[in-house]
A and B are shown apart, each in its own frame.
Chain A
Amino acid sequence: MFLDLFYGLREEGVPVALQEWMTFLTALRQGLHGSSLLRFYHLARACLVKSETYFDAFDRVFAHVFQGVEGALDDIADEVLKWLADPKNFPNLSPEELAALERLSADELMQRFLETLAKQTERHDGGDRWVGTGGRSPYGHGGQHPTGIRVGGQGGGRSAMKVAGERRFRDYRTDVALDNRQMRVALRRLRQLTRTGLETELDLDETVDETCRNAGEIELVFRAPRKNDVRLLLLMDVGGTMDPYFEPVSHLLTALHEERGLREFRPYYFHNCVYDQVYSRARLTRADAIPTADVLRRLDDRWKLAIVGDAAMHPSELLDAHGGINPHATSATSGIAWLHRLAAHFERAVWINPDDAALWDQTYTTRLVRRLFPMFHLSVDGLGDAVQALVGARA
């Protein structure tokens, strides 16, 4: 039952490892949670969760695992209270045992923990969930005194369940929330450092080596400073079905413009699908049109391609010649052919889709596009994965 918290967190995608769990148990053994559920909650969070983006998931799991704890308290029989109050019932560990415990490997310790848990369940069957939490394992010892559970926190009478139930950290979830700053953090990984250009930086290690080789006469060695070598071509779908996503997409564009580290960055716009022309400005007038073939000719395969769009359109817009719905530009080549060319031209390309990932497979054209480009959701997590696909090591 206590382990439900651990596995519940893992199921929710919170990266909790055994190491953190052991830290938490050690903290409990030292009685750091005092005698209140609220402090128990804070202690568990401090030990197990390492990013505020997971606080919401933690709150949900905690509320689920320990739900009804407060209500059930009223039903706890006196004998359980007595059992809790009697220190004899806690399987105390002698210093020798403790020392032995510390030598155990993590796996064994977990095994021992599970065994102890099982044994005690038999002996003390049916007990309330909370009692299980507080007293069933030597590691999880704590024997939270039940009266301590309702806590007068600073705000006056806030309990851990209420704190967990409030879910104040919802805004920090990375799979939904997006703002300019978070995007910049995600995009910061978009870099491949190489040494090119003028040799202006003193290479101290080389200088020392060369000087030694030179019998002590100082020989200065210079090298080129490290610079980001990423060139990014961004193609953005504008108008129509993309209008609801104006805000996140413009955040993305701002973040990319502000990302000074990029060696070169070129954004172009299109509507629904890429055809013979792309546009240098989002208003998509004929004056801004640039032949897509020219773009491909000018940018070699060292460039990275990111396409932002929902990939949802009428099948004919993607598959037919003259399929584009822009009356100013007709295109003898179908959209899908252009997408094929783009995917073949650039070594690394990604498609960033603002639509919810669950919807992707419901649209025929999105399914087709996904066969050509790895698709990522326009969220902090998705963006991080997309960046990884652009510059990371190949899987």
Chain B
Amino acid sequence: MPESNGFHRFKGTAGYIASGPLVDAVNCAVALERPLLIKGEPGTGKTLLAKHVADGLEMPMLSWHIKSTSKAADGLYVYDTVQRLNDSRFGGGNVADINHYIKLGPLGQAFAATERHVLLIDEIDKADLEFPNDLLRELDEMRFTVTETGAEVVAEKRPVVVITSNNEKELPDAFLRRCIFHFIEFPDAPLMRQIVDVHHPHLDAALLDQVLIKFYWLREQNELRKKPSTSELIDWISALLRAGVSKEQIEGHIPFIGALLKKEQDADALQRYDTKGGDYPTRWSDLGPRYNQ
């Protein structure tokens, strides 16, 4: 019984810290040639994952960013009727050859390529409710027919499909059944340290401690309308470093709060807390038991 099929295993890259379960899910999707569906809080690196899967597996990447107007067929190919009509009336172009007016979409390009690609279908929930259902057959069989020319596009190398969703709409069951699913949990403090280290190497450990304590404390505040996420933490640290803020300065309050809190009400609430002389935690033990294991 083969332990592994000898496929290239994804292990995370220098620029992306992936948790163990995420690595397993990626490898599972790669090995089984199933689409990988990634959900998670905004700012946990769903979209970045595809790029780093491509880097890690040394495959080229194609992205398809879904909008509310996207149609499933657009991902396969677009028949530019208007251009052809225009050419036929005013000359120019090879009107007789319909192939000139067939433009492959990202999915079509991934199928047609001779090399195995990583295909990112970003924010699939933005599209119409029926959108995922329209892709079922194409994702299953990795082939489609261009109706206008009768040509069939068959994937020689099945692309690694990474799909992200922000949960704005429920995805249909039939679609879900075909996917490998992973939910990116919000990183805990040790993982967050590694993530910060990737973006801001050689950060003073004591400073980082203070930064993370403040960050997780903010996230614990249930009154906040929008909790700060990883990407906001990274931005915040950049701001702190540029301004040369010292460890002592963030012990007593939270500078550059605009980098962390994006809702006006949240920033106001914190401002009021600050002026009332509210306490900020300075040690991990000031946070809940979850942080003190």
Contacts and interface: CB of A to CB of B under 8 A. Distances in A.
B85 A218 contact: yes
A37 B129 CA distance: 37
A92 B1 contact: yes
Contact of B31 (A27, A39, A188): A27
A31 B4 contact: yes
Contacts of B92: none
Contacts of B167: 185
A32 B28 contact: yes
Interface in A7-58: 15, 17, 19-20, 23, 26-27, 29-33, 38-39, 42-43, 45-47, 49-52, 55
Interface in B155-194: 167-171, 173, 176-183, 185, 188, 190-191
Interface residues of A, number: 41
A46 B26 CA distance: 10
B167 to A, nearest CB: 7
Given A45-B21, A154-B20, A208-B85, 4 more contacts: A42-B21, A43-B24, A50-B37, A52-B183
B116 interface: no
Contacts of A19: 177-178
Contacts of B88: 216
Nearest to A47: B180
Interface string B2-32: 1111000000000000011100110110011
Contacts of B169: 185, 188
Nearest to B125: A185
A213 to B, nearest CB: 14
A153 interface: yes
Contacts of B46: none
B243 to A, nearest CB: 33
A304 interface: no
A126 interface: no
Interface of A: 15, 17, 19-20, 23, 26-27, 29-33, 38-39, 42-43, 45-47, 49-52, 55, 87, 90, 92, 141, 153-155, 168, 185, 188-189, 204, 208, 211, 216, 218, 384
A216 B89 contact: yes
A26 B39 CA distance: 23
Nearest to A174: B170
Contact of B1 (A43, A87, A216): A87
A377 B29 CA distance: 37
A355 to B, nearest CB: 24
A15 B24 contact: no
A46 B3 contact: no
Contacts of B28: 27, 32, 43, 46-47
Nearest to B191: A154
B163 to A, nearest CB: 12
Contacts of A52: 39, 183
B34 interface: yes
**Interface majority SS (helix, strand, loop, mixed), chain B:** mixed
A154 B32 CA distance: 26
A29 B5 CA distance: 10
Closest 8 CB pairs of A and B: A50-B176, A42-B21, A52-B183, A46-B25, A31-B3, A50-B181, A19-B177, A46-B180
Given A42-B21, A47-B28, A185-B169, A30 B4 contact: yes
Given A46-B180, A50-B177, A32 B24 contact: yes
18 contacts: A15-B173, A20-B177, A23-B34, A30-B31, A30-B32, A31-B2, A42-B21, A46-B180, A47-B28, A50-B171, A50-B181, A154-B190, A168-B185, A185-B169, A204-B81, A216-B88, A216-B89, A218-B85
A185 B168 contact: yes
Contacts of A23: 32, 34, 180
B1 A141 contact: yes
Interface string B133-173: 00000000000000000000000000000000001111101
B24 to A, nearest CB: 5
A314 B88 CA distance: 78
Given A50-B176, A216-B88, A27 B19 contact: no
Nearest to B182: A46
Contacts of A47: 28, 180-181
Question: Considering residues B24, B25, B81, which has the most beta carbons from chain A within 10 angstroms of its beta carbon?
Answer: B24
A208 B83 CA distance: 12
Contact of A90 (B1, B21, B173): B1
Contacts of A216: 88-89
Contacts of A51: 39, 176, 181
A87 B1 CA distance: 9
Contacts of B85: 208, 211, 218
A52 B81 CA distance: 43
Contact of A155 (B81, B82, B170, B188): B188
Given A43-B28, A153-B20, A185-B167, A30 B5 contact: yes
Contacts of A50: 37, 171, 176-177, 179, 181
A29 B178 CA distance: 18
A43 B177 CA distance: 15
A184 B165 CA distance: 16
A32 B34 CA distance: 14
